Homo-oligomer: A and B are copies of this chain.
């Protein structure tokens, strides 16, 4: 702890926390239009903060959706490596609100954790790198590497503007490595470097039957209830082996090699702990022939997220709804192609639909899966940084979540994408009582400082 930047970060823990709390107070929910002005406010907050830190060029770039905040500092010169850091300032909705112990946008510290929507996903995590940069600027005058930050506001709605932005500004974004902190560690003591993420296709399936809602007493028996049609169609999307029952769905899935399976088996994985963490009566056996860890990381899945239509309020209504909309997503693995999977899904839905209804499939977003080369030098810098920041060897793992940006950086910018997460598995992402460990926040800042320094010394 003799380096000035590290000493600065250590001495300014309270300042860093205060800034993060201010950031978390902004309800920048991107999934519904009514929070649009708050999303803008979060972008503006970032722009102001980054100017204050010392970036030479900072702007909120307008898109068709939410602005992308871009900040760069190239003062390390053309011979120093350039690091591109990604984050997202938008957050998930907060419902069910009554399950939050403290309000989602009133950041609250309990038991060494900071509770707030976005604490771990992703404001707290990407703020570590801003704090690291600030420590270099304040304590050492300049960071050891050139820095480019891309912080988007549409990650929770599929990152629709990010692809065009990266493609349009590929020269501006040119770099030697990309860094993303939007994943979790294995546990509080074991860091984890994610080198693969699943892709996704998020769809809405609409089933339309009668022109208007009908009374089940008068029409029950002759009206094909769109809810019944929908549940029968949705039930047909898995077979009795837990496999996704869409013809062609698995055709491009890269088979697991024996080596990969052996390596996965070496990863400490406690099924009972996972069950307790979920609080479910039992783990689902899922796709036959694969272990739980394989199923949540390297195998594709299909999930139903909600079914709208009919009456779900208190009490009773004997309605046959005119239409039903189900939200269904599929997580994809290399080499599944989201566009192709969307077409196969749509075909399957149309094949399943009886002649008593009309069906429609809408694709709301998609993202490619990605696999990163584990032998890239930046990966080694990350391993070293974790050693210094957390005193532990990180494990390498492919993960089940989707970070659309990973495949974009990897494919368009042709750089290794380092997923260096500081979250924990029980951070309640997308759920009530999201939190971020304060210890991980401070260690994350230190790890980022080590990583920047390590990357510089490789050249």
Which residues from chain A sit less than 8 Å from chain B, CB to CB? Answer: 31-33, 92-93, 95-96, 99, 156-158, 184, 198, 200, 202, 209-225, 227-228, 230-232, 234-236, 238, 274, 278-284, 286-287, 292, 295-296, 299, 301, 303-322, 325, 327, 329, 331, 355-358, 364-365, 399-402, 425, 428-432
State how many angstroms separate the Cβ of A175 from the closest Cβ of chain B: 26
Q: List 9 A-B contacts (CB under 8 A).
A: A32-B313, A210-B280, A212-B428, A213-B431, A214-B431, A218-B401, A225-B304, A234-B235, A279-B322
Which of B157, B223, B310, B317 is close to A278, meaning CB atoms less than 8 Å apart? B223
Which of B156, B227, B299 is close to A221, meaning CB atoms less than 8 Å apart? B299
Taken together as a complex, chains A and B put the C-alpha atoms of A238 and B232 apart, in Å, by 9
Asked whether, in the complex, the Cβ of A92 is within 8 Å of the Cβ of B317, the reply is yes
Asked whether, in the complex, the Cβ of B316 is within 8 Å of the Cβ of A224, the reply is no
Beyond the given A216-B331, A307-B309, please list 20 additional residue pairs across the A-B interface where CB-CB is below 8 A. A93-B317, A202-B318, A212-B279, A215-B430, A215-B431, A216-B301, A217-B402, A220-B303, A220-B400, A221-B284, A221-B286, A221-B296, A223-B283, A223-B284, A225-B303, A227-B304, A231-B235, A235-B236, A306-B309, A306-B310
Nearest-neighbor residue (CB-CB) of A92 within chain B: B317
Which B residues are CB-close (under 8 A) to A315? 31-32, 157, 364
Asked whether, in the complex, the Cβ of A358 is within 8 Å of the Cβ of B238, the reply is no
Taken together as a complex, chains A and B put the C-alpha atoms of A358 and B311 apart, in Å, by 23
Which B residues are CB-close (under 8 A) to A402? 217, 318
Asked whether, in the complex, the Cβ of B401 is within 8 Å of the Cβ of A223, the reply is no
